[in-house]
């Protein structure tokens, strides 16, 4: 939990790499935007203090305050060896995610978050993958 808070704190105050743009079909009155920067993730040193973390896996940078169409690409969050693969799957509002079960046991994917709750029910590997359609922000 402390690592998560440290990462989130670093992300809030760090500049970010990203590019914001509009499609070629956009109205000519819309301008292209560009944001550049660097993300630094810190972790606690063994003997106190903080140091820059070498591994930046699990870090997601996102932007708010603009509108764009969600990608039509459907992402798979695979259940295999009793683990989700990939372990982190960033998506945007409006995207669809499927949850294939590649294990020999029943799985259930659910969330009890007050922000977005759902329950896909139990299903086995021979069942069609369960899907969350057009995930929207809460």
Q: According to the model, what pLDDT value does residue 12 have?
A: 38
Q: Report the alpha-carbon distance of residue 17 to residue 125 in Å, rounded.
A: 39
Quick: pLDDT tens for 34-78.
889 988 999 999 998 999 998 888 888 888 887 888 888 999 999
Quick: pLDDT tens for 70-101.
888 999 999 999 999 999 999 888 889 999 99
Which burial class, exposed, middle or buried, applies to 82 when counting CB atoms under 10 A from its CB (0-12, 13-18, 19+)? exposed
Cβ-contact 109, 89 below 8 angstroms:
no
Lowest mean pLDDT among 19-23, 36-40, 54-58, 133-137: 19-23
């Amino acid at each position: 939990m402390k690592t998560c808070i440290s990462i989130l704190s670093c992300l809030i105050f760090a500049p970010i790499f990203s590019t914001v743009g509009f499609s070629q079909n956009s109205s000519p009155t819309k301008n292209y935007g560009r944001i550049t920067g660097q993300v630094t993730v810190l972790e606690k040193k063994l003997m106190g203090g903080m140091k820059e973390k070498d591994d930046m896996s699990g870090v997601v940078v996102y932007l708010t305050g603009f509108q764009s169409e969600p990608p039509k690409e459907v992402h798979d969050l695979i259940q295999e060896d009793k683990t989700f693969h990939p372990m982190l799957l960033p998506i945007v509002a409006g995207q669809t995610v499927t949850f294939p079960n590649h294990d020999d046991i029943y799985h259930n994917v659910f969330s009890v978050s007050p922000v977005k709750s759902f329950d896909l029910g139990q299903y086995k590997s021979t069942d069609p993958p369960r899907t969350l359609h057009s995930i929207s922000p809460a």
